[in-house]
Structure 1
Amino acid sequence: MKLYITRVILGAFILFTTFLSAQNLSKNQFQVKGNCEMCKERIESTAKKAGAKTAVYSIDSQILTFETNENISSDQILLKVAEAGHDNEKYKATDDSYKNLPGCCHYQRDSKSTSALVEDHGHSKNENEFFVKGNCGSCKARIEKAAKDAGADSAEWNAEKQTVQLQFNDKKTSADKILMKIAEVGHDNERYKTTENVYSKLPSCCLYDREIPFGEANPKVHTDEGEKKGQHTDAANDEHDGHAHNEKTIDGVTVTATKAATSLSKKEAGLTFNIDSKELLKAACCNLSESFETNATVDVSFSNAVTGTKQLKMLGLDQKYTSLTKELLPEIRGIASAYGLNLIPGRWIESIQLTKGGSTVTNGYESITGQINTELIKHSEKSETALNLFADFNGRAEANITHVEPINEHWTQTFLLHGNGTFGDTDMNEDTFLDRPKGTQINAAYLLNYNDLGHSGFGSHFGINFVRDERTAGQIGFDKKLPQNQQSLYGVGIDISRFQVWNKTGYVFEGKPYQSLGWMNQYVYHQQDSFFGLRNYSGQQQTYYSNLIFESIIGNTNHKYKAGASFMYDGYRENYLTDDFKRNEIVPGAFGEYTLTGTKYTLVAGARVDFHNLAGTQFTPRLNFKYDFTPKTILRLSAGRGFRTASVFAENQQYFASNRSVQIMQNGGNIYGLKPEIAWNYGASLQQEFKLFGKKSTIVADFFRTDFQDQVLVDLDRSPQQLVFYNLNGKSFANSFQTQWDFMPFKNFDVRLAYKYYDVQADYLYGRRQVPFMAKHRGFVNLAYATNKNKNEGFWSFDTTLNLVGKQRLPNTLTNPAEFQIPQFSESYAILNAQISRNFNKNIRAYLGGENLTSYHQKNAIVDFRNPFGNYFDGGMVYAPIMKANFYVGFDVSF
């Protein structure tokens, strides 16, 4: 018994002395560069030899965690680690020690991806600049106020660089205290991370991406547990948790984080993809219709063999069911539906936000399958001018000039100029018809931005845009200058003039960064004059749009709301053959939206009511819900209603290049005698992140269903000589399933794989059928590789995209003579695009690419092409590319 008691006392004494010993240890975390298991062993053993009691290195996170007593500083250990050949947060290894490492240990020595590589063992580049995360003007005001409240004499936050410049008196305050205060108001920075609870209460515009890429110094983490205890818990042990803070974190770290070219937003309740301008450089992105070639969500298809127009499809439905906006203002709709995608140059685009399913009610009532918003180039802290030249091997050329210039600290202006021309006669299938139209486009825009949200609370954006586009298509040799009645050849002429002016003004209430008022206004004039053989079509649309939005909170930022009113006026004048169609659509509306944010969930519920003078009163509810099972496992649910009025002539111009007669079966409506289109959309998605090959990998699976309550059906099956429009009598639905997997097998090599399944059916006059020109099965592969990116020395980029398209149902042509019939289903086919680019430095880039490298093209794309004025001629039966392989070259230079 005595022996047992003695052992217990001895054990307790040992535990007690061990505990006391542990209390004198300080735990530290620093970023250290390494590649493999040999690096891990070398770093850990070096740290222990330098005096660390424990040392653990993670290859995945590039973090070295070690414990020291008060006699050993972290500086001593990190210096020894650098001497062993490993760059770290405080010291940089010499070139000789790095070169002496085994080949497998040679990590990338990019100084911009390391949080604090210091050449002279201890002196930073800028002793008063710190990395702080934020998003907008409200963030800027909050960060600067927190810094001054903590004792800073001055504070200036830079949104583009994500850094705050501080001036303070060392005797009155410290960088630690200031950065801690900034974290306490909701902003992660290089030393402290805010709690999830504080972050979730920020206004929605301030919810930045909280993923910390390698290179962001973030050794200290505020946790919810620490907050509850009145402490701050972190891996580096600051002075607030009862231990000495031994490491001397160097002030003045400037961090440059790499932004993904395409990313799925974690903060949005809806399934929203952010597409950066870098993504658009992976392919021949000459206009918006070509901006989605490396994106798996949007399908891009040719819709006409004569006019060469491209159309987008999402969730198995035509682009008319997707809200296409520019600067969050209505853009491609009505008369612009057929050719509007060609009027937004790719080099003008700063970013694209793509939302699948029901979008917010604040942007209108027309969205059914989702929203695609385009933001133009308008942000820069210094004067930047860029020139892009492009040409393909079949006579197409274009030039783009963009110039962004800060006028002063509040004003920035942007000049955008685009010109293109197609001059060659391209007829790869030798049917005497041009595979794409010839013509020219001149496009110019001017943007003026005012931003003083951080001080006066005001911000404003003004834009003006003018486009003139002229196209000629049809048979080779057709002369557009001759009157139609003197032509022996079949021709198509399309002339478009477009002018628009817009303004967006916002105000953030003083002392209330969560409360704001915004007002958007736009006027658009769009004129199209065209002919298709002996058929004339002209359309004019004038649109005025206004939207007023007030945003605030109920109690705290867990409960946010938006309320507002909108007004839309559309004046249409159309002429087809000898028929004139005129209508004015006047739509005042009101809306409200409530956002509930919890620790793991976000609920966005909204509704709007619109008083349409022709379609009647329409109620539009929408709901989006996001639940984070873990930060890497996210479930989203959505449901919503949308309605729109169909512009049947403008939206179906691809069928005008045929000898189909147009018939409208009126149903008592006020728009061409038809009723408006109304549909419900439901969706669910699951996003899962995990580590693969030591890198981030993401799988997203989603399912959406669209049910039409009413629809204007475009019937191509009733007769090959007729194009019939009528309202739905029965059911029409679209089921869409997609799974996408993004991963990186090895450094600088990105892989994107996707599979899509569509089931799109409608009850036509003669029964339920699959909607034509929609493949049930589609596959997608995108591969992107870049050599080590050094802006001074240059690098290579290689991008390849493979689209696999399954068979599609084709319109019924059985009543045609046998030689003019097309099969019931198309063939399956594959399209391969590839591009190689060389960045010589940060200012000069050249690229070479090829489209449709498999050279698959639709044979006999034009029915009865030898007799274009006969009864069976039809250029609208297109399900695949018309052109074979096409190569292009381009050149970018910035000044």
Structure 2
Amino acid sequence: MKTLLKSLCLFSLLFTSFLFAQTTTKSTFLVKGECGMCKDRIETSAKKTGAKTANWNATTQKLDIEFDADKTSSDQILKQIAEVGHDNELYSAPTQTYDQLPGCCLYEREPSFLKTAITEQPVKQDNQFFVRGNCSSCKSRIEKAATSAGADSSSWDSNTQMVTLNFDPAKTSADLILKKIADVGHDNEKFTSTDDTYKNLPGCCLYDRELPLGVKSDLVHDDEAESAAPKKDFSQHADHFDKSIEEVRLIRLADATALSKKETGLTFNIGGKELLKAACCNLSESFETNATVDVSFTNAVTGTKQLKMLGLDQKYTSLTKELLPSIRGLAAPYGLNLIPGRWIGGIQLTKGGSTVVNGYESITGQINTELLKANDNPETSINFFGDVHGRVETNITSTTQLNEHWNQSVLLHGNATLSKTDSNDDGFLDQPTGNQINAAYLLNYNDLDHSGLGTHFGISFVKDQRFGGQTTFDKKIDRSKQTAYGVGIDLSRFEIWNKTGYVFKDKPYQSIGWMNQFTTHQQDSFFGNRNYWGNQNTFYSNLVFESIIGNSNNKFKTGASFLYDQYDEDYLTQNYKRTETVPGVFFEYTLTGLKYTLVAGARTDFHNLAGTQFTPRLNFKYDVTDKTILRLSAGRGFRTANVFAESQQYFGSNRQIEILGNGGKIYDLKPEIAWNYGASVQQEFKLFNRKATLVADFFRTDFQNQVLADLDISPQKLVFYNLEGESFANSFQTQLDFAPAKNLELRLAYKYYDVQAEFLGGKREIPFMPKNRGFFNASYSTDKTDKGAFWNIDTTLQLIGKQKLPNLNSNPLEYRLPEFSKSYSTLNAQISRNFNKNIRAYVGGENLLGYTQNNPIIDVQNPFGNYFDAGMVYAPIMGANVYFGLDFKF
């Protein structure tokens, strides 16, 4: 009897499974999108149309669905997804719906995923006509034919399959132009191309002649495939192409660093793939393979690094986290070390003046850091890192989808420098010892498609302690009893923030967002016999309303912000206190044309100490062709200087600090004002028959009331005063990215800087800024095995030209510096092995050429004497460093 019951149960189970298998279908489709909002919109739309499960991945652009074939179909699901704004394999979203998506959701619509298009013909204007085609070669051929037939201008769009013609009726006609277009191989609503002409088109241009006019071809090609097959192979099978090949699917993998074609400003999107090319232990090391940002050590005792952009110090770049103010004020000297590299989900780097929505402090550009979230690949990962100089660290990151609308991120980090390294035997540590404990928690809610509400909450805390100076310095001994020179830096920082947004129902183009953040940052430090203590409490709030004027070609953002900064600083025996309150209002208008985008914004801020400040900014992008983009920008910015925090690289010396005030309300100095102007050209072309991108840009920054740190008045003084006269920074950069062979990516760049200011002693170059810099990066990956294993090799060579050095000629001869430093080169390299999707090992080296600055510390034998100075650093002070690490994912 038991055997019979077991048999019946087994039979029932098999029968039920059989029935379920007959009615439940699992499928995977390509669906275009960009962000977490896209993910929610796509998955919600699929489930509304009958899908039992839906999971869309932004990295692969793949949607996995399960549905009951008796109740719905993949056709119905994908049609509904297109109707809410997302192109996919079967349907293209209506242009009006796509245009009304939030800005973060505007994906690149080319190349298309369409295999079989069943969309309705778009509405066209009187000067628009349906013309069949596929790719950029079609676009060029169609527009050239139109011009040769007398059109003043023309523009063909591959998504709508429409050409827009502008012509003088007295000289030509639409019929003549369309006849010429048909003669070169492109069917249209007036004329049909001959079979021979059509069959002689390149393979990528062979559209489906059977589809209704205005519907995109079912043959999908990328520009990379234009020469993939000989013409004769396509011509032999053109009439039955869809029968001979079941599916053509070309997927373009995301670039490690991508220059956005849709952004009005010159914006680079740095992804996780780029960040893994180097050690990337913190934010300051995240730009080692990036040619736009310059990274250098600040002095010979603290081991910290600073960024420079457009030839100017880090303080003139707006550094944000989650689009909220981050590394500013008292956090300027060491804040880059407080954001672990493995916490970073992506970086957006914009050169030149950024949007007025994010504030008034951006002068040379904006660097925004996004933390890891569970939008794409929920996972837990552990990283172990160590180097030969005794630096070790561990990172644990976990991103989890709690339910349909909630997800969380838990980010943990710890590091320590254990060994005392003195590679040049000067008696001083090359890098300080110490440790850091860092933790953050993120909680996200997204229900934009139903309630229109989304919110993001974050909280973080970090404690960092460092000790440096002479190798004989003992931190356990009271400083009053110390005979050795020591440096101690004790940092603590707490942040809590929230961002909440609401998208109006039935108005996807209209939204309102509110961001709030509170930060407290404290530093307790000493440099020899000098003490510095500082505390900063900051509250920031920003309310933004976004909508359109008439149609989506006329968008605007408006709102109000409030910034509260409370500073309390002790330097030696003097105390400096101030409170800054800055309410502000802003308005930004975006005009989108057929080939151009104009963003014009202005804000007014009512600073209680700096007075009322007006900040206008303008960005313009013009698509000369689909491969050539011209950008122009101009704007104003202002900031209040924090002279002690921003000049701590010189605290490791016996220079006396002096402030030559002029009646300002902040350190007796006036606020800094700067105008930035820029122009750039972005050109895509073929090199070695593969895609290549060349970018050339020029930016100029002009200052008013710049707070100068003068090192030349005396080697024993550091003097601060407001600029009286001219101060400017000219920056020119050209960069070429190309892939000469499969899996091999190369990046070449050259930068020229001309940075000068009128100091009290006359106009001269800003010190520690090389005029010329060269950059070369190569990255090679092997093909993945069946288990997902592959090797990756990356190397970066930088050439740094000579730099103007401070004038120390009043010192004794042995304590002087030459007028200019020597040129030098650095080489970094890394080899990594992915054993599968979950395990990765890497080993790398920094400064492998071993170049170091001779005698980086002046009068190193007498650290308490008048001539001691550890701030005259212009090159690496440590020789070659080798590191290794392991990554595990669960």
TM-score (ref. length: structure 1): 0.82
Amino acid at match of 1:208: Y
Measured against aligned partners, the alpha-carbon deviations of 1:740-789 in whole angstroms (never above 9, x if no partner) come to 00000100000000000000000000110000000000000000000002
C-alpha separation in 1, matches of 2:400 and 2:72: 37
2:212 counterpart residue number: 240
Instruction: Mark the CA change 1:482 to 1:801 in structure 2 (over 3 Å): closer, same or farther.
Output: same
C-alpha separation in 2, matches of 1:440 and 1:250: 60
1:842 counterpart residue number: 837
C-alpha separation in 2, matches of 1:430 and 1:169: 74
Instruction: Mark the CA change 1:198 to 1:737 in structure 2 (over 3 Å): closer, same or farther.
Output: farther
Partner SS, residue 240 of structure 1? coil
**CA apart distance, 1:258:** 2.0
Measured against aligned partners, the alpha-carbon deviations of 1:692-747 in whole angstroms (never above 9, x if no partner) come to 22221000000000000220001001110000000000010000000000000100
C-alpha separation in 2, matches of 1:361 and 1:766: 36
Instruction: Mark the CA change 1:270 to 1:577 in structure 2 (over 3 Å): closer, same or farther.
Output: same
2:615 counterpart residue number: 620
Measured against aligned partners, the alpha-carbon deviations of 1:789-808 in whole angstroms (never above 9, x if no partner) come to 24714110000000100000
Amino acid at match of 2:779: A
1:384 counterpart residue number: 379
Measured against aligned partners, the alpha-carbon deviations of 1:788-830 in whole angstroms (never above 9, x if no partner) come to 0247141100000001000000000000000000111000000
1:187 counterpart residue number: 86
C-alpha separation in 1, matches of 2:37 and 2:480: 63
1:289 counterpart residue number: 284
1:196 and 1:224 in contact (8 A); partners too: no
2:34 counterpart residue number: 135
**CA apart distance, 1:261:** 1.0
2:198 counterpart residue number: none
C-alpha separation in 2, matches of 1:170 and 1:296: 52
> For 2:624, which of 629, 637, 642 is the aligned residue?
629
Amino acid at match of 1:376: L
Q: Does 1:304 align with 2:203?
A: no
Q: Does 1:580 align with 2:568?
A: no
Instruction: Mark the CA change 1:718 to 1:275 in structure 2 (over 3 Å): closer, same or farther.
Output: same
> For 1:776, which of 761, 771, 776 is the aligned residue?
771
Higher mean C-alpha displacement, 558-567 vs 785-794: 785-794
**CA apart distance, 1:212:** 2.9
> For 2:390, which of 388, 391, 395 is the aligned residue?
395
Measured against aligned partners, the alpha-carbon deviations of 1:618-644 in whole angstroms (never above 9, x if no partner) come to 000111110011111000000000000
Amino acid at match of 2:207: A
C-alpha separation in 1, matches of 2:726 and 2:120: 52
Instruction: Mark the CA change 1:321 to 1:222 in structure 2 (over 3 Å): closer, same or farther.
Output: farther
Aligned 1:493-892 pairs, distance under 5 A: 493-790=488-785, 792-892=787-887
Amino acid at match of 1:390: F
**CA apart distance, 1:210:** 2.9
2:332 counterpart residue number: 337
Amino acid at match of 2:812: P
Instruction: Mark the CA change 1:649 to 1:568 in structure 2 (over 3 Å): closer, same or farther.
Output: same
C-alpha separation in 1, matches of 2:71 and 2:598: 44
Instruction: Mark the CA change 1:257 to 1:761 in structure 2 (over 3 Å): closer, same or farther.
Output: same
1:298 and 1:314 in contact (8 A); partners too: yes
Question: Any gaps of 5 or more consecutive residues in structure 2?
Answer: 1-21, 132-159, 162-205, 219-239
C-alpha separation in 2, matches of 1:745 and 1:849: 24
Partner SS, residue 212 of structure 2? helix
2:154 counterpart residue number: none
Instruction: Mark the CA change 1:797 to 1:242 in structure 2 (over 3 Å): closer, same or farther.
Output: closer
Measured against aligned partners, the alpha-carbon deviations of 1:513-537 in whole angstroms (never above 9, x if no partner) come to 1111111111111110000000000
Amino acid at match of 2:272: S
2:444 and 2:457 in contact (8 A); partners too: yes
Q: Does 1:207 align with 2:179?
A: no
Instruction: Mark the CA change 1:225 to 1:563 in structure 2 (over 3 Å): closer, same or farther.
Output: closer
1:201 and 1:558 in contact (8 A); partners too: no
C-alpha separation in 1, matches of 2:78 and 2:548: 27
1:111 counterpart residue number: none
Alignment: residue pair count: 770
1:495 and 1:530 in contact (8 A); partners too: yes
Q: Does 1:277 align with 2:277?
A: no
Aligned residues with identical type, % of pairs: 66
Instruction: Mark the CA change 1:157 to 1:621 in structure 2 (over 3 Å): closer, same or farther.
Output: farther
Instruction: Mark the CA change 1:627 to 1:223 in structure 2 (over 3 Å): closer, same or farther.
Output: farther
**CA apart distance, 1:167:** 8.1
Amino acid at match of 2:653: S
Instruction: Mark the CA change 1:541 to 1:252 in structure 2 (over 3 Å): closer, same or farther.
Output: farther
Partner SS, residue 552 of structure 1? strand
Q: Does 1:158 align with 2:56?
A: yes
Instruction: Mark the CA change 1:219 to 1:715 in structure 2 (over 3 Å): closer, same or farther.
Output: farther
Amino acid at match of 1:235: Y
**CA apart distance, 1:486:** 1.1
Q: Does 1:492 align with 2:490?
A: no
C-alpha separation in 1, matches of 2:806 and 2:24: 67
> For 2:399, which of 400, 404, 411 is the aligned residue?
404
Partner SS, residue 739 of structure 2? strand
Aligned 1:54-453 pairs, distance under 5 A: 128-136=27-35, 139=38, 158=56, 160=58, 162-164=61-63, 179=78, 183=82, 186-193=85-92, 199-200=98-99, 202-212=101-111, 216=113, 218=115, 228=128, 235-237=207-209, 239-241=211-213, 247=242, 258-380=253-375, 383-453=378-448
RMSD: 2.9
Instruction: Mark the CA change 1:836 to 1:143 in structure 2 (over 3 Å): closer, same or farther.
Output: closer
**CA apart distance, 1:134:** 2.1
Partner SS, residue 427 of structure 2? coil
Question: Any gaps of 5 or more consecutive residues in structure 1?
Answer: 1-122
**CA apart distance, 1:604:** 0.7
1:202 and 1:557 in contact (8 A); partners too: no
1:42 counterpart residue number: none
Amino acid at match of 2:105: C
**CA apart distance, 1:568:** 0.5
Instruction: Mark the CA change 1:218 to 1:311 in structure 2 (over 3 Å): closer, same or farther.
Output: farther
Amino acid at match of 1:158: W
Partner SS, residue 595 of structure 1? strand
Amino acid at match of 2:809: L
C-alpha separation in 1, matches of 2:106 and 2:577: 46
C-alpha separation in 2, matches of 1:478 and 1:155: 63
C-alpha separation in 2, matches of 1:847 and 1:145: 40
**CA apart distance, 1:598:** 1.1
Higher mean C-alpha displacement, 789-798 vs 289-298: 789-798
**CA apart distance, 1:249:** 12
1:699 and 1:741 in contact (8 A); partners too: yes
Partner SS, residue 331 of structure 2? helix
2:122 and 2:214 in contact (8 A); partners too: no
Partner SS, residue 819 of structure 1? helix
C-alpha separation in 2, matches of 1:842 and 1:600: 42
C-alpha separation in 2, matches of 1:140 and 1:841: 26
1:436 and 1:473 in contact (8 A); partners too: yes
C-alpha separation in 2, matches of 1:582 and 1:253: 67
Measured against aligned partners, the alpha-carbon deviations of 1:348-377 in whole angstroms (never above 9, x if no partner) come to 000000000010111111000000000000
